[in-house]
Amino acid sequence: MVFLARIMSPNPGSEELESLIRDMEPRRVTGVLRVTFDACSGFIALENGSIVDGYEIYRDGLLVRDRQARHIVERFRGEPGRIDVYPVNSHVLQTFLSTLEDDLPQNFRSWFQSLFNSCNDTN
C-alpha cells in the first residue's frame, strides 16, 4: 500500500473536509483522517468510503467519541486545522478502533505513528 498524506490548513469556514469525505466515498477508501486543531485532534475512520466512527482526543488525554464525526466537521468549519490522510487496510483500521474503544494508549501519538507506519512498511 502506498502511504498518502494530504496536509491542508484552509481558512476557517472552509468545507474542504466535507468535500474530501465526499470524494472518498465513490473511491471506497478505507483509512483514517486525522484533523489537528490547537486544542485537540479529531480522527475520522472510514471503511469503503463510509464514516464508521470518529473520536476527538484533547491535549489532557480526554477521549470523546464523535459518532459520524459531526463535531469534528463542525469544528473544522470554524477553526483552521490540518488534515492528514492515512489509507490503511481493514485490519489496521479495526485495530485502531478497538484500541480506542478499550482505552487510550499512554503515549497515543507514538502508538498511532507506529501503527500506521508499520502497515506501510509491510505492504
Residue tagged 484500541 (cell numbers): 99
Residue tagged 470554524 (cell numbers): 78
Q: What is the pLDDT of residue 114?
A: 81
User: pLDDT 10s digit of each residue in the chain, 123 long?
Assistant: 334 455 454 555 567 889 899 999 999 999 999 999 999 999 999 999 999 999 999 987 888 999 899 999 999 988 888 898 889 999 989 988 998 888 777 788 788 878 777 665 544
Are 83 and 35 within 8 A, CB to CB? yes
Are 7 and 14 within 8 A, CB to CB? no
Q: What is the pLDDT of residue 13?
A: 55
Q: What is the pLDDT of residue 121?
A: 52
Total Cβ atoms within 10 A of residue 24: 21
Q: What is the pLDDT of residue 123?
A: 44
Q: Kindly list the distances between the CA atom of residue 4 and the CA atoms of 69, 91, 106, in Å, as whole numbers in the listed order.
A: 21, 18, 26
CA 13 to chain centre: 20
